[in-house]
Structure 1
Amino acid sequence: MKNEYYFLIGFTIIIAIYWFISYKLYRSIFFAYKNKPIDLVNHEDEFYQAAYQWFETIPKEDEYITAYDFIKLHGVFIPSHDKKSQKVAIVIHGYQSKATDMIIIAKMYSDLGFKVLIIDQRGHGLSEGNFTSVGYYEAYDLKKWLHFITRNHGADSQILLHGVSMGASTAAMAMKFREAKQVKALVLDSCFTNFRDSLALSTRQPILRLFLPGITFNTKLFLKFFLKEVNPLKAIKKTDIPVLLIHSENDRVVTHAMTETIYTSIKNKDKDLLIILGAKHAKGFEVEKQKYIDKVVDLTSKVFNIKKSDIKYIQ
């Protein structure tokens, strides 16, 4: 009887420790706003400096919308140099990043004649929110931004979504909404198949993978979704619009196999894949800027009928 008692005590302690560690890991993943802000982009770096100086001088507007759960979401809208343009690029940053980290991508689309909206995802930048869901609820936020564009800039707006990492997940998962009918093309840079698999792969210490069930349980308990429900692969399968996938060769978060799985699952034949050799996760633009731009120009020329003579300037 005493042995059974000690066994029960020991088992309870083990479960409590497992629960505690799982909860702490869950908090560290989904409550990134609690962490010290990270400057993923150094705008004083020579690579980014010209784009940042451009951003500082151009006309732009801070925009705010209200999310489904009544938090305020922030974005920056950049008008097109082409006053007649109906093309709009919505640029979506990744995990622990912010809208201004995407300035160099925004400039690329502005030079192509697009109006550009760069957004702060919930819990990031100037947007409110005390958690991230790595694309699950962010897709609903993007639905609101799509409505904002069609309401304020015309129901005939032709929209392109460009997302990086978590931003790519957000873009892919937003395609299920009817508001996405004005989306004419997708650029998905470093897009994972589903978040659970990506988290398992990116965990450098294998022992931490033991806590994935606990993290999943906490996520469902507190945030009301399972990790596998953050599933861009499922969302993108039936899309009928052109898709450009971009993969960084040395990515430890999104494997080449993941990108290939997404690519082959897209039934639409109007798709393309760019693999950036030597690049780490979401760093393809830094490593092969010109190849990256060339692929985007190919896509936009085809979908939005952009002529090379219409391109203002790309640096």
Structure 2
Amino acid sequence: MKNKGLLLKVSTGLAAVSFLFSEYLFKISFKRVDHVPETSQEKQKYAASYWEYVDWFRRINKEHWTFQTKNETERMSAYFIPSKEENSKKVVIIAHGYKGNGETMSSYAKMFYEMGFNVLLPDDRGHGQSMGEYISFGWLDRLDYLQWLKKIIKRVGPKSEILLFGVSMGASTVEMLSGEDLPSQVKCVIADCGYSSIDEEMTFLLKHHYHLPKYPFYPLVSTINRYRLGYYLGDVSSVEQLKKNKLPIFFIHGENDDYVPSYMSLENYEATTAAKELWIVNNATHAESYWLDPLEYKKRIKDFLNKYFNDKN
């Protein structure tokens, strides 16, 4: 009886510790951010260029767009940069990465702006000026983007031609959005270093960054997410959404990505039966493909757009 009592106490203690640590993991991973964390040491070499793009974004003429959420007490926020080309119908929605915001995508915004696009830069849930106590890793954001699409078509007109573009979490956001019933004005998708599912991504990070097993932590974090946000993490899958995608899509991924491994883009590529292209960028780490060679990055995107978007880029 003493052994059984001791075993019960130990089991209960381990369960309590596992739950507390899972709650800690949820908070550090899913809690909203009100400032953009400093970039990694390896990417500090791009800092000067990055801040030049941010300065451009802050000076460029733009409109602040919002819409209210269902409860009408909080709002989503985005900035719209009108094209430099008068009456341009081309629009790109640029989805930012984890713990970023629209401003952090200034380099991509300038790239597309120079191609004659109107540019929309949303702040996703739990980021920047948008509402949300927690980060949804693109799952709820994909539904918010349906609202942004409506606002774009109203602003630019029914002849709008819309490109979906995202990096990291933003790539997965547009990948998951591609599986929804989209307006005909959406023409194609570009996804740079998106994950295949939160299940795979969290399992990878637990093993390689925290040196922890998937069980019991992932199921506990998933259960906490279900309680806080209304869905299990197993629901969040680029692969499953891409199976429904009908749009041409260009997958980009850094060969040396140790945050979202490049095999996830291979899984995403295999999942879709629509027209598709894949570029694995030699020597690039996570979200570094643009910064490693901006001219080649722009060329590859223009080549894709020439095939699937229009013939004017």
Q: Note whether the superposition's TM-score is higher than 0.5.
A: yes
Do the aligned partners of 2:93 and 2:162 also contact (CA within 8 Å) in 1? yes
Q: Percent identity?
A: 30
Q: Say which of 242, 248, 253 aligns to 1:242.
A: 248
In structure 1, stretches of 5+ residues that fail to align are 309-315
Aligned to 1:6: 6
Residues 1-315 of structure 1 mapped to structure 2, 5 A cutoff: 1-33=1-33, 37-40=36-39, 45-68=47-70, 70=72, 71-203=74-206, 204-207=209-212, 209-210=214-215, 211-268=217-274, 270-307=275-312
- The farther-off stretch of 87-96 and 148-157 is 148-157
* Alpha-carbon separation, structure 2, partners of 1:170 and 1:274: 19
Quote how far apart the aligned CAs of 1:228 are.
2.1
So what's the TM-score if we normalise by structure 1?
0.90
RMSD across aligned positions (CA)? 2.2
Quote how far apart the aligned CAs of 1:12 are.
1.6
* Alpha-carbon separation, structure 2, partners of 1:5 and 1:42: 55
* Alpha-carbon separation, structure 1, partners of 2:284 and 2:45: 20
* Alpha-carbon separation, structure 1, partners of 2:49 and 2:196: 30
- The farther-off stretch of 135-144 and 146-155 is 146-155
Do the aligned partners of 1:186 and 1:241 also contact (CA within 8 Å) in 2? yes
Do the aligned partners of 1:201 and 1:252 also contact (CA within 8 Å) in 2? no
* Aligned partner of residue 272 in structure 1, secondary structure: strand
The structure-2 alpha-carbon separation of the partners of 1:266 and 1:302, relative to structure 1 and needing over 3 Å to count, comes to same
* Aligned partner of residue 214 in structure 2, secondary structure: helix
* Aligned partner of residue 293 in structure 1, secondary structure: helix
* Aligned partner of residue 84 in structure 1, secondary structure: coil
* Aligned partner of residue 296 in structure 1, secondary structure: helix
So what's the TM-score if we normalise by structure 2?
0.90
The letter for the 1-side match of 2:260 is V
* Alpha-carbon separation, structure 1, partners of 2:69 and 2:184: 20
In structure 2, stretches of 5+ residues that fail to align are none
Quote how far apart the aligned CAs of 1:180 are.
4.2
The letter for the 1-side match of 2:263 is A
* Aligned partner of residue 13 in structure 1, secondary structure: helix
Do the aligned partners of 1:276 and 1:288 also contact (CA within 8 Å) in 2? no
* Alpha-carbon separation, structure 2, partners of 1:114 and 1:6: 67
Quote how far apart the aligned CAs of 1:119 are.
1.0
The structure-2 alpha-carbon separation of the partners of 1:68 and 1:233, relative to structure 1 and needing over 3 Å to count, comes to farther
Quote how far apart the aligned CAs of 1:43 are.
12
* Alpha-carbon separation, structure 2, partners of 1:294 and 1:255: 24
The structure-2 alpha-carbon separation of the partners of 1:66 and 1:53, relative to structure 1 and needing over 3 Å to count, comes to same
